[in-house]
Amino acid sequence: MKLRTSRRTALAAALALAVATAVAAPPDPSQAMLARYGGSYDADALLKEPAVRTELARLLGGELKHLQRNLSVAGGIGIVGGVLSYDGNADHQGGQEEAVVCVAPPGSLVEAAILSRRTVTVYARARRYDELTQCIKDWITLANSGHADRMQAPRNVRLAAAR
């Protein structure tokens, strides 16, 4: 009988320790940021996050207002390669004046790009194109295609619909 009680006590103690450890573990700020903003329409709050706001001001300087104007018509916040992605265009200027902001949680890495006058300018700490996030590079590909690939399948794409 004592052996059975000892096992129960040991199991209860192990369970209590596991619960206490799980409760005491600090939440991962990266996951919290992805959960808070991913799929939401709360771009104002994302762009006002202290780390994001500071980094955008540092990277863009006087072009920050241009970025904001080019994000005036936008949808929700997506997640591309584990990075928050927010893109849009200036009012009635899709395909001509566009922008994207990419934020790697917890806001320690911020990149932005502006499409204006058929030129994409990237604002980032990266020194080379291959160092940019997938978020920025995918947006550049989409912007350079004139968003055509969102509306019509490219020639080499075949759709195998479920039956």
How many residues does the structure list for the chain?
163
The candidate with the shortest Cα–Cα distance to 37, out of 1, 76, 88, 9, is 76
Percentage with pLDDT > 90 across the chain:
63
Strands 109-116 and 83-89: unpaired
- Residue pLDDT, tens place only, 26-76: 667 778 999 999 999 999 999 999 999 999 999 999 999 999 999 999 999
pTM: 0.78
User: Is 80 exceeded by the pLDDT of residue 81?
Assistant: yes
Average pLDDT over residues 91-104: 92
- 78: tokens are 């997506």
pLDDT at 149: 79
pLDDT at 20: 52
